[in-house]
Structures are given as C-alpha cells and as structure tokens.
Structure 1
Amino acid sequence: MRNIQNYIEHTNLKPTITSEDIEMLLNEAQENNIFGICVPPFWVKKAKRDIGKTNIKLITVIGFPLGYQMSQTKEAEAIQAIKDGADELDMVLNISAFKSKMMWPKIEIAKMGKLAHEKNKILKVIIETAYLSKSEIIEACKICADAGADFVKTSTGFAPEGAKVEHVELMRSVLPDHVGIKASGGIKTYEQAMQLIEAGAERIGTSTGPAICLNQ
C-alpha cells in the first residue's frame, strides 16, 4: 500500500491567501507528514522561515498562471525564489510561444533547468493540458524532457479543467523514466489521487491534502 503523504504537495495559490493561511498550510502538512507545501512567490521567505529544520519541501510557482512573461522575468523570479528558500520551482510553459511553433519554450526550459540545477533545485514545467490536444501534450512532454525538466506538471488549477487520468497515462507513455509527472488541478479525493498515481503521477498538487491523507 502506497503512503499517499509522500506524493502530496499541499497547495494554496488563491489570490486571497494571507499569512495565517501560510501558517495553516504548514501546520496541516506537519500534522499529516505531507511531502511539501506550494505557496506563491511572495510568501516563500515566510514559509521557509516557518518550516525551519523540518523535512517539508517548499515549492513555488514561476510565470504563474499564464506563462507568457518574458524569459528574463521568469529567470529573475526563479533567482529570487531560490534566494528566499524554495526547493522546487513549478514554471508555466509559454503556451503562446508553443502554439506558435517557436523554439523559444525549449530554450527557456533549458535555461531555467540550468539555473535550478546549479543550485540543486528541482524544475517542474506546467504544460496546462486543458489547452492542448493529445498530439500537443506529447510534443510538450518531449520538449520538457529534452530541455532538462525534472517533472512535467498537468495544470495550474486556473484552467477550465485540471488533471485527467488519460492525460497522465499519455504523458507517462512518452516521458523517459527519469522525468516525473505532477498531477494537479481539481484533485479533491483520495480516490482521484490514487487513480492519478496508478496512471503514472509521482506527485499530487492539491489544496485538500489533509483530507486525502485522512481518507486513505
């Protein structure tokens, strides 16, 4: 039986998030032995200070939620996040450039991967599957893998649809073994989480981490 806590990134990226919410997020992660918490860049420094010497990983987002910032902006955001204490960076793919069939997304991911890896950090790339066809999901996964991403992530949670089992299965079928999958977006129950893990996800991004852990 899998220990679901090891898969969970307990997340709060709501526009109305407060310092009290950050504290609650961390407390819930500690109480349930959850792998990590995901917070907006503004709150990384506080979250890192509050985490202290615990083993909880600190994740934040880059280029969120649409991904079409200039690469220099994403790079500056990533540098600041790492400086503030982030362990892992979830960067949104430039879907606009991707759909325009430009080479830039691959170049950008490679640059961001180099930046992260030089600091021993993890880079995940959010491809936002809700906006992609099956062939585009395959292409986006190949670009991420070739450019050096550590994980490919399904969704920001802001699109019309989140993680789907069939999309995770498709991603797993084309990604090499060393590239993980993070399923996120609309995952509310233990049953949903387990279906996505069985499909190939190694991480689950959710705002209901404690409830999922309690129902396993």
Structure 2
Amino acid sequence: MKYTIDDFAQLIDHTNLHADATEADMKKLCDEAKQYHFKMVAINQVQAKFCSAQLAGTDIDTGAAISFPLGQTTITSKVAETKDALANGANEIDYVVNLTQVKAHNWSYIEEEMTKMVAACHNQHVPCKVIFENCYLTKDEIKQLALIAKKVEPDFIKTSTGFGTSGAKVEDVKLMKDTVGTKVKVKAAGGIRNTDDFLAMIAAGAQRIGTSSGVKIIAALKKRFAADNVTAIDL
C-alpha cells in the first residue's frame, strides 16, 4: 500500500496523557493536530470538553482515555466514565482492560466488560479501542484477549498505555493482528518515538499509532520524501 505524508499523519493519535498537562499544553496539542492533520488527540477524560471545543469545525477526533492507565475500576465505573466523556465532546474512546481479571484468566468478565464498553461507544456511533497493556501479559494472554475482541468487535485493540514497563513491540502487533484478522484493527502505542519504529509498526499490521512524537515523526518523513523526491512510499 502506498502512503503519502497525509496518509501517515492520519494514522497518528497525537498524545498528551500527562497528569500535569496544563490548558496551554492541551491547546498546543490541538493546534499541532490541526497543523499536521493528525487523526485524533489522545487525552485524559477530564480534558474532553476543552479539546473538543478547540477542534470544533475540523475532522480531528477527541479521544478520551478511560480507567487510565491502570484499568482497575469496575465495569459500571468505566461505562459511566465513557458516557461522561462522550457527553463532554469525546468522539473516540480508549479504555484499559481489568488486568487483575486478565491475570486470573476470568475471560467471561473480560468479555462482559468489553461488550458493555463497545455498546456504550457504538450506541453513540463512536469508535472503541481496548488497551491490553501487553508488558504485563504472556503471549497466550494477549492471544486470548484478541480472540475475545474478534468475537465482540471493538474497533481497535491496542498494545499499551505508554505508562507500563514497556510499550509497543512489533511481535505483539503481529500476534494481535494475526489473531483478530480483518474484523478488528490494531493500534500500536507506547515508546514509538522515531520514524523507523513508526514504519515498522505499520508494516506489522498497525492501523493506528499512538505517540507523543508525531510532530517529529512527520517532520522526519517529510525530509525523507524530499531527499528521495517522492510523494508516496510503499509499505
């Protein structure tokens, strides 16, 4: 598949999830998203109203992180937080699975949680992304989570919060994509800070990239395109 600079920008969820992010930081994030035409700004749920107002009139989404970054809240709490985020202007949701229940292999709980979260989003025609936090999981647990997602059909399954012990890995992206097939997309996030890593995740099957380094990555890609005198590249 051929990608232009704008195609690459449209794969990026431009991210600032720091607890001490100021209103000025949020405005900068939204301004950069508009300048580079990123797909979404990824922010903590409390920032949804401010960022959605900043992005009004654009095609850039406001993505709220739910039960972030630990995932250790009840299903009822996650659904309520999601509904509040949507009421305040969010139009994409990334939520963290209950890792305690994953490690207990309580798959029926995880399926119920995912089903209710997907319903809360899809009832409002909003994409739902499920964050696995792979650094704490075995390959078998990653695969089982992906199999549940294949059944429930969220829009994306996602590698990491970026706040765990490690972030996205190419082999995990491949495993997730091979397991869900074409029914669910994969988002790679966590530690993706340069162009080579960005391209490697896409080549492995990621169809969305969460990163706080989007500006740097796109700037480097523009230089690469100019040096090669091309307007698109194949991956």
- Measured against the shorter chain, the TM-score band is over 0.9
Aligned to 1:202: 207
Give how far 1:178 is off.
2.3
CA distance in 1, matches of 2:178, 2:79: 30
Identical amino acids, percent of aligned pairs: 35
1:71 pairs with one of 50, 66, 75: 75
What TM-score comes out, normalization by structure 1 length?
Answer: 0.98
CA distance in 1, matches of 2:42, 2:22: 14
CA distance in 1, matches of 2:147, 2:188: 17
1:154 aligns with 2:159: yes
Mean CA deviation greater in 199-208 or 97-106: 97-106
1:20 aligns with 2:24: yes
1:81 aligns with 2:79: no
Report if the CA contact (8 A) 2:153-2:183 is conserved.
Answer: no
Aligned to 2:227: none
| SS of the residue 1:15 aligns to | coil
Report if the CA contact (8 A) 1:107-1:147 is conserved.
Answer: no
| SS of the residue 2:10 aligns to | helix
Whichever residue aligns with residue 123 of structure 1, its letter is C
Report if the CA contact (8 A) 1:163-1:186 is conserved.
Answer: yes
CA distance in 1, matches of 2:154, 2:39: 20
CA distance in 2, matches of 1:12, 1:106: 29
1:93 aligns with 2:97: yes
Give how far 1:23 is off.
0.3
Give how far 1:145 is off.
2.1
Q: Once the two structures are superposed, what CA deviation does each residue of 1:145-167 show, in whole Å capped at 9, x if it has no partner? A: 21231100000001111000011
CA distance in 1, matches of 2:151, 2:71: 19
1:177 pairs with one of 144, 168, 182: 182
1:143 aligns with 2:148: yes
Report if the CA contact (8 A) 1:12-1:207 is conserved.
Answer: yes
Aligned to 2:10: 6
Whichever residue aligns with residue 202 of structure 2, its letter is I
Give how far 1:87 is off.
1.1
Whichever residue aligns with residue 51 of structure 1, its letter is L
CA distance in 2, matches of 1:65, 1:35: 21
Structure 2 gaps of 5+ residues are 222-235
Larger radius of gyration: 2
Aligned to 1:167: 172
Aligned to 2:55: 51
Report if the CA contact (8 A) 1:8-1:205 is conserved.
Answer: yes
| SS of the residue 1:47 aligns to | helix
Aligned to 2:233: none
CA distance in 2, matches of 1:101, 1:189: 35
What TM-score comes out, normalization by structure 2 length?
Answer: 0.90
